[in-house]
Amino acid sequence: MSIVETIMQYIGAALILGGSVFCVIGAIGVIRLPDFYSRCHAAGVTDSAGAAGVLFGLCFMSAPLIAFKLITILAFLWLSSSVATHALVQAAYARGVRVENPRVKDWTHGQETSAKKEGEA
Amino acid sequence: MIETNSIALVFFAFLLVIGVAVTVQRNLFAASMLTGIFSLVSAALFTLMDAVDVAFTEAAVGAGFSTVLFLATLALTKDTEKPGVKRPFAATFVVLLTGGALIYGTLDMPAWGTSEAPIHAHTASYFVTHSITDIGLPNIVTSVLASYRGYDTFGELLVVFTAGTGVTLLMQRKGLFRPGALAIPPKSRAPYVREMPVVRAVAKTMLPFILLFALYVQAHGDFGPGGGFQAGVIFATGFVLYGLIWGPAKLQPIIGGRPVQGLMASGVLLYGGVGVFCLLMGYPFLDYSALTPDHPVHGQHYGIFLVELGVGITVSAVMLIIYFVFSVRPRVGRGAGELGP
Amino acid sequence: MTQAAHLWHYWLIIVLGMLGLWVVIAKRHYVKKLLGLSIFQVSVIMFYVSMGKVEGGTAPVYLPGEDGGVDLTAAYSNPLPHVLMLTAIVVGVATTALGLALVVRIREAYGTSEEDEIAAADRAEEDELHRQELAEEAL
């Protein structure tokens, strides 16, 4: 194995490790964060940063054609998972899921009541 | 081997946790989504067991299409389950007895993964060593699926066709397939998705790629994992995405007409027609050497291409019709309008 | 203990299957029963596929050989269970769809998808018919 290949292997391993760390952070966030919206954000970290780290790491470790396929997968994943999270949060907002973080002003509540008032009027 | 086994153990642990969660979850929407995740994790496990084609199918069907189907059903029925179970002790007893008997039965099985197991002895070793000279395709699974065991696959395709016909008969209403019958959109169950410009823009961008990928899977099944079954499901999933976002009324002019019902039958006819053509040429049923008698291997290639095309057409048409009849059915009966605001 | 080291894959798959079977028997909501059935189905498929695995083998797609042909000396996992299970998955979703269509029709006829409520409705109807017959005989 040439020196360049060895370096590539190490870069790949480091990226995979970094991606895994983001996955763990996302998992902790899903358990620890107080309400639905912030938990969605944590799950989004797993999808975007975690998957990106692992897939880029694998790119460094594989042949060019496979690397191209992995990048295509990553593009699809970024597009679809971020849109899925967007749709999920929109649906939750539309059904009136509340923000329960004490440090954040409950804008959901305010919006909902104003919408109701408009409806009544 | 230690590495593969430990990865397998982690996946098995996931599957057990998800399975228990499905069992205890009384919100059936959540349980359906968990079943989709169960399918996805099991697809990862199939890859670990070298079954790439099975993993591909499971990921497309279990995690994609069947979850949508369950959600479509729940939109028509009640989405929460009553608490409590029926005869829990009798059920547990039966399950423990069956499981115990099965585990007792495995004690006589050869060790997992050994190459001396009887399952690898007879036809399987022939397929592995001879299919490259008999049929000449790199993917042994496709060779066995479409050529060596073409009868089986034809039978399975007929079952899919029959199930599609049965669903249509059960769910059909007057004028369901008449163009323009749904000109007034049925009462929307998820109005918010249709108002989301981001979702619509991205779905519109991805739709052609999904359909292109389905065609790639259809054509590339000879060389790698893929083939008619997977391609058919992926092709249908593209239209299901369209239907989920723009609503069944927009989907009806595209797939709701008689042509899709005709496609459902024509795939089976194409498959059977290839077999009958072989018979007429004086060869056995589904012996594709009949297609080019002076070069049997080429005939196998043509035959496999045609029957895989038939499989793809029927499977995609059946999946489209199943999704369509579920999505346009109005919600009636007690508790109507419980879902959504 | 040596058997546990060789057979634990099968045992875990059986445990998964029994979980699905328990849902099918003990739960009363028909959609939940079908969810349990699909878990059971996945585990049966996994049982077949795992029998075809050869330790140290690779997926049954020919690897390129040295002389431009294919490598026939490599260990390939058994393609036969893969073929049978691949079609079984697609047939499985088609039959699940049939089951779900029946659930929808039952819901439209009875107004519920819970097994015991449907049985109670049936029994009430039979009792009513029986009572009418008795009344006619009495006349």
Percent of chain C with pLDDT over 90: 52
Provide the mean pLDDT of chain C: 89
Question: What whole-number distance in Å separates Cα of residue B233 and Cα of residue A37?
Answer: 33
pLDDT at A114: 43
pLDDT at B215: 94
Provide the mean pLDDT of chain B: 85
Count of beta carbons in the 10 Å neighbourhood of residue B294:
7
pLDDT at B178: 63
Cβ pair B192:A86 closer than 8 A: no
A86 to chain B, any CB pair closer than 8 A? The answer is yes
As a whole number, mean pLDDT of residues C91-95 equals 91
Token pair of B47 as six digits = 């890859």
Q: Which of B258, B259, B241 lies closest to B250, judged by CA?
A: B241
- The Cβ-side half-sphere exposure at B149, using a 13 Å CA radius, reads 22
pLDDT at B183: 45
pLDDT level of residue B338 (50, 70, 90 thresholds): very low
Question: What whole-number distance in Å separates Cα of residue C17 and Cα of residue C36?
Answer: 9
Cβ pair A90:B190 closer than 8 A: no
As a whole number, mean pLDDT of residues B257-282 equals 90
CB neighbour list of residue B96: distance below 8 Å, 6 or more residues apart: C18
- The Cβ-side half-sphere exposure at B87, using a 13 Å CA radius, reads 10
Question: What whole-number distance in Å separates Cα of residue A121 and Cα of residue B15?
Answer: 52
Count of beta carbons in the 10 Å neighbourhood of residue B309:
18
pLDDT digits (tens, 9 = 90+) for B210-236: 999 999 999 988 888 888 999 999 999
pLDDT at B275 over 50: yes
The residue with greater pLDDT, C70 or B160, is: B160
Question: What whole-number distance in Å separates Cα of residue A63 and Cα of residue A66?
Answer: 5
Provide the mean pLDDT of chain A: 82
pLDDT at A106 over 70: no
The residue with greater pLDDT, A120 or B282, is: B282
pLDDT at B177: 64
pLDDT at B113 over 90: no
Percent of chain C with pLDDT over 70: 99
Q: Which of B328, B287, B314, B306 lies closest to B134, judged by CA?
A: B287
Backbone φ and ψ for B250, nearest 5 degrees, come out as -75, -30
C77 to chain B, any CB pair closer than 8 A? The answer is yes
A95 to chain B, any CB pair closer than 8 A? The answer is yes
The residue with greater pLDDT, B88 or C10, is: C10
How many contacts does A have with B, using Cβ atoms within 8 A?
A: 26
CB neighbour list of residue A55: distance below 8 Å, 6 or more residues apart: A19, A70, A71, A73, A74, A77
B190 to chain A: which residues are within 8 Å by CB? 91
**What one-character DSSP code corresponds to residue B185?**
P
Token pair of B65 as six digits = 């299409």
C contact test, residue of B17, B54, B58 with most C CBs within 10 A: B54
Cβ pair B164:C94 closer than 8 A: yes
- Per DSSP, the three-state class of C76 is strand
List all residues of chain C from 9 to 68 with a beta carbon under 8 Å from chain B.
9-12, 14-23, 25-29, 31-32, 34-36, 38-39, 42, 45-46, 49-62
Percent of chain A with pLDDT over 70: 82
pLDDT at A113: 45
pLDDT at B74 over 60: yes
pLDDT at B334 over 50: no
How close B203 gets to chain A, by Cα (Å)?
9
pLDDT at C55: 84
pLDDT at B337: 40
Token pair of B334 as six digits = 């007690």
What is the distance between the terminal CA atoms of chain C, rounded to a whole angstrom? 76
Question: What whole-number distance in Å separates Cα of residue A73 and Cα of residue B207?
Answer: 15
pLDDT at C74: 83
CB burial of B145-174 (b: ≥16 within 10 Å; e: otherwise) equals bbbbbbeebbebbebbbbbbbbbbeebeee
Cβ pair C14:B106 closer than 8 A: yes
pLDDT at A115: 44
Count of beta carbons in the 10 Å neighbourhood of residue B47:
18
C23 to chain B: which residues are within 8 Å by CB? 22-23
B99 to chain C, any CB pair closer than 8 A? The answer is yes
List all residues of chain B from 153 to 212 with a beta carbon under 8 Å from chain A.
190, 192-193, 196, 198-199, 202-203, 205-206
pLDDT at B13: 95
pLDDT at A11 over 70: yes
CB neighbour list of residue C40: distance below 8 Å, 6 or more residues apart: C17, C20, C21, C24
Q: Give the range among B164-178, B186-200, B235-249 with minimum mean pLDDT.
A: B186-200
pLDDT at C14: 95
pLDDT digits (tens, 9 = 90+) for A42-82: 988 888 889 999 999 999 988 889 999 999 999 999 998 88
pLDDT at A117: 42
Q: Which of A69, A34, A29, A63 lies closest to A49, judged by CA?
A: A29
Whole-structure pTM value: 0.88
Cβ pair A83:B202 closer than 8 A: yes
The residue with greater pLDDT, C80 or B187, is: C80
Are A and C neighbours with ≥3 CB pairs closer than 8 A?
A: no
How close A96 gets to chain B, by Cα (Å)?
10
In the block, tokens 């899919």 appear at B160
Q: Which of C55, C52, C53, C47 lies closest to C11, judged by CA?
A: C47
Strand partners, C29: C114
Secondary structure (DSSP) of A51-114:
HHHHHHHHHHHS-HHHHHHHHHHHHHHHHHHHHHHHHHHHHHHHTTPPP--TTS--HHHHHHHH
A86 to chain B: which residues are within 8 Å by CB? 196, 198-199
**What one-character DSSP code corresponds to residue B330?**
P
Q: Averaging pLDDT over each range in B166-175, B283-292, B324-333, which range is the top one?
A: B283-292
B301 to chain C, any CB pair closer than 8 A? The answer is no
A72 to chain B, any CB pair closer than 8 A? The answer is no
pLDDT at A1: 67
pLDDT digits (tens, 9 = 90+) for B127-185: 888 888 888 888 999 989 988 989 999 999 999 999 999 998 998 776 666 655 554 44
pLDDT level of residue B78 (50, 70, 90 thresholds): confident
Cβ pair A87:B193 closer than 8 A: yes
As a whole number, mean pLDDT of residues B271-287 equals 91
B97 to chain A, any CB pair closer than 8 A? The answer is no
Contacts 24+ apart (CB under 8 A), B261-266: B261/B168, B261/B177, B261/B317, B261/B321, B263/B313, B263/B314, B263/B316, B263/B317, B264/B161, B264/B164, B264/B165, B264/B314, B264/B317, B264/B318, B264/B321, B265/B161, B265/B314, B266/B310, B266/B313, B266/B314
pLDDT at A121: 35
pLDDT at A104: 67
The ipTM estimated for the assembled molecules is 0.91
Secondary structure (DSSP) of B113-167:
T-TTSGGGTSHHHHHHHHHHHHT--SBHHHHIIIIITHHHHHHHHHHHHHHHHHH
pLDDT at B198: 87
pLDDT at B115: 83
pLDDT at B184: 46
pLDDT at B1: 64
pLDDT level of residue A120 (50, 70, 90 thresholds): very low
B66 to chain C: which residues are within 8 Å by CB? 38, 93, 96
The residue with greater pLDDT, B95 or B78, is: B95
